[in-house]
Amino acid sequence: MAKPKRRYVCQACGSVATRWQGQCADCGEWNTLAEDAPQTVFSQKHDLSGGGRAIAFEPLDAPSERLIRRATGLAEFDRALGGGLVPGSAILMGGDPGIGKSTLLLQTAAAIARSGGEAVYISGEEATGQVRLRAERMGLADAPIRLAAATSVRDILTTLGTMAPPALLVIDSIQTMYSDQIEGAPGTVSQVRGCAFELIRYAKETGAALVLVGHVTKDGSIAGPRVLEHMVDVVMSFEGERSHQYRILRSLKNRFGPVDEIGVFAMEGAGLKEVGNPSLLFLSGREQPLAGSAVFPAMEGTRPVLVEVQALIVRLASGATPRRAVVGWDTGRMAMLLAVLEARCGLSFSSAEVYLNVAGGYRLTDPAADLAVAAALVSALADKPLPAQAVWFGEVSLAGEIRPVAHGAIRLREAAKLGFDQAFGPADAPGGAAPSRYSGLAMLPNLVDRIMGGA
Ligand code: TYD
Ligand code: MG
């Protein structure tokens, strides 16, 4: 029959080991393994005499209830969610400390409460006075939110049981929650998992939309409970540089919608402001063309965003090892691009320090950024500014070809709309409205000739 087996769970990533180790083999954190409650291991042979119930199978096309979403009142939040809150769904909201998760959710709760919905905000981190003070500063003090400071899941569920289920239930944060049914301190994997399970069950049973705030570890994953990502319907991350104003709400997993839509906000004195048209947001003040700066029409889901890529190249006199630093782009990708520029175009970066920065604290993930980065690098190396009103996009292969990318037409349309009258991209020009001058570049050497020879 069943025999208990020792197991050790990493408190940082949730991975399970059968032996205690000083370092987690999965995430590499030290001293994070802790013994978990013994798990019952069922014997190989299945005993079916216990009498399970038969389950009914259903066809896929059986009539089902239509998914009704509730708008939060924050259009950017709705957009990132794929069109609003789904009743009974569970959302995990991750993000660095101080990025604005509590602010965003307080604003969302206030918007729902003001539109006549019931919104419950449970703060496990801040006292109600603190939350109230913040609400006052943001001009939300009159919103009829139900606010409480609590950490006991039993207390929270008991209280919720005495009232009509709310439209929105915010738990800020899941790592501070505590269940007396489970061993361990708040924040441990078993506590976080158990508390989340209870709360998600409440949401599913009552149709309340649940938002769990989750802290993020150094390496960027939502702390402790990676297991939580499997339990919830939607995983969102709230990102941005704390020194910059802009915040991007991204969905990393969404059982009810696409995962490539983003919401854009600006953190201001009175809370988060929605940025409906983020195209120009990430361009720095570009009065006169500077060497090493290229504009890239990036795609975020279905939305184009123009961003500026900046490169700086410093020639080294001595034989010191040159530095390479990248902010906002993939380091490996830049190394690859430098190698291709050296191998295919005969440019030499080996004795120079190379710095690459994406303006505005933006993080580029779009593969079409290659050409803009290459243009910025070549422009910096040659110390020649690129044409001021030009955009650059295309993927670069190891052979130095410039490959077509998705959504070319949308990128060009957005660039034209914002006054960019010149575009450089893959040889096959995308159709549709475009900047008046489009130059198709087949190979990376064509780009170098263009810049060196004066475009
Ligand atoms: P907060 O929502 O507490 O972050 P999180 O819950 O993700 O830890 O945001 C706190 C930061 O936001 C804080 O550094 C100050 C800033 N902030 C503003 O700039 N303006 C505002 O109106 C508010 C409420 C916060
Ligand atoms: Mg907070």
CATH code of the domain made up of 281-452: 3.30.230.10
139 lines ligand 1 (CB under 6 A): no
Q: What 8-state DSSP symbol labels residue 381?
A: H
247 lines ligand 1 (CB under 6 A): no
291 and 297 in contact (C-beta within 8 Å)? Answer: no
267 lines ligand 1 (CB under 6 A): yes
> What integer pLDDT is reported at residue 292 of this predicted model?
93
- For ligand 1, the distance from its centroid to the CA atom of residue 63, given in whole angstroms, is 45
Q: What is the pLDDT of residues 365-417, one digit of tens each?
A: 889 999 999 999 999 999 999 998 899 999 999 999 999 999 898 899 888 87
Task: Give the nearest ligand 1 atom to 173 CA.
Answer: 6
269 lines ligand 1 (CB under 6 A): yes
Task: Give the nearest ligand 1 atom to 95 CA.
Answer: 7
Closest C-alpha residue for ligand 1 atom 10:
98
Confidence tier at 455 by pLDDT (50, 70, 90): very low
Q: What is the pLDDT of residues 249-285, one digit of tens each?
A: 988 889 988 877 788 899 988 899 998 777 766 676 6
> What integer pLDDT is reported at residue 6 of this predicted model?
79
Structure tokens at 341: 């520029």
Instruction: Indicate left, alpha or beta for 97 from its phi (over 0: left) and psi (-120 to 50: alpha).
Output: beta
Q: Which residues of 411-439 are buried (b: 16+ CB within 10 A; e: fewer)?
A: bbbbbbebebebbbbbeebbeeebbeeeb
Whose atoms come closest to the Cα of 100: which ligand? 1
Q: Which CATH architecture has domain 75-276?
A: 3-Layer(aba) Sandwich (3.40)
Structure tokens at 333: 């990708």
- For ligand 1, the distance from its centroid to the CA atom of residue 135, given in whole angstroms, is 11
Closest C-alpha residue for ligand 1 atom 13:
98
User: What is the SS3 string spanning 316-367?
Assistant: CCCCCCCCEEEECCCHHHHHHHHHHHHHHHCCCCCCEEEEEEEHHHCCCCCH
- For ligand 2, the distance from its centroid to the CA atom of residue 277, given in whole angstroms, is 27
Whose atoms come closest to the Cα of 173: which ligand? 2
- Give yes or no for residue 358 having a pLDDT over 70: yes
Residue spans per domain, the chain = 1-43, 75-276, 281-452
Structure tokens at 158: 């008991």
